[in-house]
């Protein structure tokens, strides 16, 4: 009895008394929250244990009723229906088709369950059974999927994700987009199937997306709509849908008010960041960002081999087709030599900023570095925010904008600057080992960007030995 009185399953303390707490299935989080809770009105744990089972049962019944209302099939039933449909498609005789048809009918009746009452038709004098609406909807859905009349999003979308070659974070956007669409379908009594999404349905969903996402920025909403369009485009190529209803379905963007666009750092802001006392692991990122125009993640992921032979190799970012080489600024040579000393080509150039350790994390390696820079930037008094806008107008990307501005002011052509920072451009290729006109121009352009004078005087462009690639050892012929 003492063991029972000390049992805390389904119980938690709140305001000095005990209450019951029951987990809610993820599919109902939008409607019921993550947990259902009910106070027991007692501060005695033993008394709470005597009262809790009845309340747990009541809360679970409430959850079950909501699940039935949705008319949504459990994933296991969807999987079974899809398997039966594949058997239906591959059937090679009328006898096999008849067996499959009987199995579909049997499963449909099993899901439907017993009638909840019988209705009498006064005009015909006949009676008919009435079934639970939720179970009836699920049974209809099972039969439609199994016979190929309906295709739920889940199965083809999982196939689409497996074939997709986008970044993990983009795949998470795909998953969120389908979840928002599925949730909207359930709330609006629209089947969560490919066949049910027409142009009108897609437009209605687009109009509701702001509410579904908690009024996320329209740019983010459009990102989800774009991912849905990519999925439907994939299905259209496979001839599994007849059209892409998401074409031109967009959330209207807010007009940009003057002064609300993200911008470059000013020279004074760069100076404040240089003299703010950042630790080496952060200051080195700042200097490379300012004197190369590279994005933060491209810097953080570099290995020692990406800094040899007088050029940085930056991995492709955004819409870039491949990695790119740009000359190392003279003022960064000492930094490169220091960070490369005693390391092999495959060693991390920034081991202080490791990748997330959590299994399955979609965060980029630069996540912690970005947070650290934001904290440091604010400490230095370098900040500009706009009410209602999550990101500040200045961030690490402002170094990229500052570099471009400085190179333009130094008189270099837009096409050359675009090639250096990885923007779209025409016909400009450097090559790590090339000393042709393009590389020479790039070296002059990069070197023309000067860090602001700090209180201790100008930042010196120290010369240092440039680390070279290690030649592979040739096998002995003896």
Q: Identify whether residues 404 and 344 lie together within a single domain.
A: yes
What's the CA dihedral at 221, 224, 230, 233 to 10 degrees? -80
- CA 458 vs CA 208, 283, 285, 330, 454: distances in Å: 55, 16, 19, 14, 6
- CA 328 to mean position of chain CA atoms: 33
288 and 350 fall within a common domain: yes
Listed residue (40, 45, 145) closest to 86, CA to CA? 145
Whether residue 378 is contained in a domain is answered as yes
- pLDDT for 78: 79
Mark whether 302 and 377 lie in a shared domain: yes
Closest C-alpha to 144, from 87, 81, 232, 69 = 81
Question: Are 242 and 361 found together in one domain?
Answer: no
Same domain (yes/no): 431, 328? yes
Using N-to-C axis directions, what is the helix angle for 218-237 and 154-163, rounded to 10°? Answer: 90
b/e sequence 79-118, b meaning 16+ C-beta within 10 Å? ebbbebbebbeeeeeeeeeeebeeebeebbeebbeeeeee
What would the DSSP string read from start to end of 37-97? EEEEEES-HHHHHHHHHHHHHHHHHHHHHHHHHHTPPPHHHHHHHHHHHHHHHH--SHHHH
Domain endpoint, select from 254, 281, 301: 254
CB-based contacts of 87, cutoff 8 Å, min separation 6: 100
Q: Give the pLDDT confidence score for residue 198 in this predicted structure.
A: 94
DSSP string, 265-307: PPHHHHHHHHSS---HHHHHHHHHHHHH---HHHHHT-BGGGG
Q: Are residues 361 and 294 in the same domain?
A: yes
Residue 284 covered by a domain: yes
pLDDT along the chain (478 residues), means of 10: 61 91 78 89 87 84 70 71 82 84 89 85 80 82 86 87 87 92 85 90 94 84 95 92 94 67 92 94 96 93 92 77 83 95 94 81 84 95 84 92 94 88 60 59 93 65 41 38
Helices (H), 213-266: 218-237
Long-range contacts (CB closer than 8 Å, 24 or more residues apart) made by 341-346: 343/304, 344/304, 344/470, 345/303, 345/304, 345/305, 345/308, 345/469, 345/470, 346/303, 346/304, 346/305
Contact 245, 199 (CB under 8 A): yes
Per the domain annotation, does 419 fall within a domain? yes
Residue 359: CB atoms within 10 A of its CB come to 5
Q: Where is 448: in which H helix or E strand?
A: helix 437-448
Range of the domain at 188: 151-254
Per the domain annotation, does 469 fall within a domain?
Answer: no
**pTM of the predicted structure, to 2 decimals:** 0.57
Q: Are residues 414 and 362 in the same domain?
A: yes
Asked if residue 271 belongs to a domain, the reply is yes
Q: Do residues 299 and 441 share a domain?
A: yes
Say which CATH number the domain at 338 has: 1.10.443.10
Provide the pLDDT for residue 192. 85
Residue 138 in 3-state DSSP? helix
> Cβ–Cβ contacts within 10 Å for residue 66, how many?
16
In whole angstroms, give the CA distance from residue 411 to residue 41: 76
- Which CA distances in Å does 275 have to 278, 396, 397, 451? 8, 16, 19, 12
Residues 69 and 19: their CA atoms lie apart, in Å, by 27
Q: Which of 13, 38, 70 is the last residue of a domain?
A: 70
Pairwise CA distance, residues 9 & 18, whole Å: 11
Residue among 225, 216, 204 at smallest CA distance from 254: 216
**Element housing 14 (H / E):** strand 11-14
Q: Does residue 402 belong to any structural domain of this protein?
A: yes
Judge if 39 and 158 occupy the same domain: no
For the chain, how many structural domains are there in total?
A: 3
DSSP assignment letter at 392: -
296 and 434 share a domain?
Answer: yes
Residue 135: predicted pLDDT:
81
Are 280 and 249 contained in the same domain?
no
Tell me the CA distances in angstroms from 20 to 30, 42, 66, 384, one per residue in order.
Answer: 20, 11, 19, 46
Three-state secondary structure call for residue 327: strand
Pairing of strands 35-42, 324-327: unpaired
The answer to whether residue 174 is domain-embedded is yes
Domain boundary among 13, 42, 70: 70
Helix (H) / strand (E) element for 416: namely helix 414-421
Are the C-beta atoms of 81 and 193 separated by less than 8 Å? no
Domain membership flag for residue 47: yes
The DSSP 8-state label assigned to residue 469 in this structure reads P
- Compute the distance between CA of residue 197 and CA of residue 56 in angstroms, rounded to an integer: 38
Say whether both 325 and 231 belong to one domain.
no
The neighbouring-strand residues paired with 327 are 311
Which domain CATH number covers 206? 1.10.150
């Amino acid at each position: 009895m003492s063991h029972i009185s000390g049992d805390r399953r389904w119980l938690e303390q709140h305001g000095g008394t005990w209450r019951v707490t029951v987990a809610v299935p993820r599919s109902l989080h939008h409607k019921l929250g993550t947990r259902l809770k009910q106070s027991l009105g007692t501060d005695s744990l033993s008394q709470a244990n005597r009262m809790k089972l009845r309340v747990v049962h009541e809360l679970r019944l409430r959850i079950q009723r909501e699940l039935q209302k949705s008319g949504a099939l459990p994933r296991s039933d969807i999987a079974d229906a899809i398997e039966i449909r594949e058997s239906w498609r591959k059937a090679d005789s009328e006898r096999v088709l008849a067996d499959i048809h009987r199995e579909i009918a049997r499963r449909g009746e099993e899901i439907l369950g017993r009638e909840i009452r019988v209705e009498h038709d006064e005009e015909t004098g006949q009676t008919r059974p009435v079934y639970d609406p939720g179970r009836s909807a699920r049974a209809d859905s099972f039969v439609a999927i199994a016979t190929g009349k309906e295709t739920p999003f889940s199965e083809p979308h999982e196939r689409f994700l497996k074939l997709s070659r986008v970044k993990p974070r983009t795949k998470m956007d795909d998953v969120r987009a389908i979840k928002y669409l599925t949730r909207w379908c359930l709330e609006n009594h629209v089947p969560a199937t490919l066949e049910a999404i027409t142009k009108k349905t897609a437009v209605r969903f687009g109009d509701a997306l702001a509410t579904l996402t908690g009024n996320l920025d329209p740019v983010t909403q459009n990102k989800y709509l774009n991912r849905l369009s990519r999925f439907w485009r994939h299905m259209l190529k496979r001839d599994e849908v007849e059209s892409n209803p998401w074409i031109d379905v967009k959330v209207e963007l807010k007009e940009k008010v003057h002064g609300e666009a993200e911008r470059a750092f000013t020279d004074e802001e760069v100076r404040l960041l240089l003299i703010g006392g950042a630790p080496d692991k952060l200051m080195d990122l700042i200097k490379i960002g300012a004197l190369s125009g590279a994005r933060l993640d491209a810097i953080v992921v570099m290995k020692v081999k990406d800094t040899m032979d007088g050029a940085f190799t930056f991995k492709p970012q955004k819409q870039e087709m491949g990695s790119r080489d740009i000359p190392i600024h003279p003022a960064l040579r000492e930094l490169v030599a220091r960070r490369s000393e005693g390391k092999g080509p495959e060693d991390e150039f920034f081991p202080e900023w490791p990748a997330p350790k959590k299994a399955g994390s979609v965060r980029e390696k630069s996540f912690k570095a970005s947070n650290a820079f934001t904290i440091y930037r604010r400490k230095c008094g370098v900040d500009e925010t706009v009410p209602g806008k999550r990101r500040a107008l200045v961030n690490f990307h402002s170094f990229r904008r500052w570099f471009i501005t400085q190179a333009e002011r130094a008189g270099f052509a837009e096409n050359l600057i675009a090639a250096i920072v990885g923007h779209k451009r025409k016909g400009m290729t450097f090559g790590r080992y090339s000393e042709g006109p393009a590389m020479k121009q790039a070296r002059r352009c990069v070197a023309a960007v000067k860090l602001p004078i700090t209180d201790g005087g100008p930042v010196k462009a120290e010369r240092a030995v440039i680390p070279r690639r290690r030649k592979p050892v040739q096998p002995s012929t003896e």
